[in-house]
Amino acid sequence: MKFKATYIYLLAFVLLVIAASEFIGIQSFMVGNIRINLLPLVFAILITMVLGVPVFRKGLLKKIYSPDNVGFAGKYLIFIMLPLMARYGADVAPKLQDIFAVGWVFLIQEIGNLGTVVLGLPIAILLGLRREAIGATLGLGREGELAYISEKYTLNSDEGRGVLSLYIIGTLFGTLFFSIIAPVLHGLGFSIEALAMSSGVGSASMMTAASSALVSQQPDMAETINAYAAASQLLTSFLGTYTMVFLAVPLQRLMYKLFVRGGNK
């Protein structure tokens, strides 16, 4: 890889955006009885998206958002993701006994990981997506799916653009959705334990949003809610990759061939 001068602008810009987002911190606000949490990651993506709009992309920002920098960011994002995957493994290993002690009920939720393929793939194809649908519907588009797609297809491929788009959309709107849907379902009569258990979908930001919203509903059960959500998140992080590789990927390939003639369009 030939290092270019514009990469320096990109790296400096990234550090400034991270510093600004961390300075803003976690912001919470109430909508009726529902607490919505906005994490620093949301602000980081919002800042970079707004400054990337063509009307602002002038002078120094034009150099930062140059085609070379955009290509560089997409191509080498995997070097950021791999250490994160390693950390997940390091976090899970010491708690294997806790995972096995949680019970078989948590295992059922892993079936839900196939819902993005069964429900999402046909809709994506009907909307006109083709290879992009593979990346967009493999899962929730979080770190595991991002790492798998980037390794197999690269993020500059159609599949890579699909998963990256979903990753950004999930970061921006996923936390808001989970902050709202968890209390709403609780109001409809769903068990607080069941909702806490379902908070662990493989995304730390979405889990935090859902569990925090539930805690604001029933503060006296804060320990139970956080424990169930953490255990569920841990199990999803541990088994989600295997569910994706051995179940979701083969199912997705089969369905894609059925819905798209030739299976390679």
Count of structural domains within the chain: 2
In a shared domain, residues 134 and 15? no
In a shared domain, residues 110 and 52? no
What domain range is 160 assigned to?
A: 99-265
In a shared domain, residues 16 and 105? no
In a shared domain, residues 141 and 62? no
In a shared domain, residues 125 and 228? yes
Q: Is the pLDDT of residue 84 over 70?
A: no
Looking at per-residue confidence, does 163 or 262 come out higher?
Answer: 163
Structural domain includes residue 75: no
- pLDDT grade, residue 75 (50/70/90)? confident
Dihedral (CA of 102, 87, 163, 34) sign = positive
pLDDT at 30: 77
User: Using CA atoms, how far apart are residues 19 and 186, in angstroms rounded to an integer?
Assistant: 36
In a shared domain, residues 117 and 248? yes
In a shared domain, residues 263 and 210? yes
User: Using CA atoms, how far apart are residues 217 and 158, in angstroms rounded to an integer?
Assistant: 42
Residue 63 in tokens:
């150099």
DSSP secondary structure of 81-119: HHHHHHHHHHHHGGGHHHHHHH-THHHHGGGGGGHIIII
User: Using CA atoms, how far apart are residues 229 and 194, in angstroms rounded to an integer?
Assistant: 9
Q: Is the pLDDT of residue 21 over 80?
A: yes
Average pLDDT (57-67) is 88
Provide the whole-model pTM.
Answer: 0.71
pLDDT at 180: 80
Domain boundary among 68, 89, 115: 68
In a shared domain, residues 158 and 232? yes
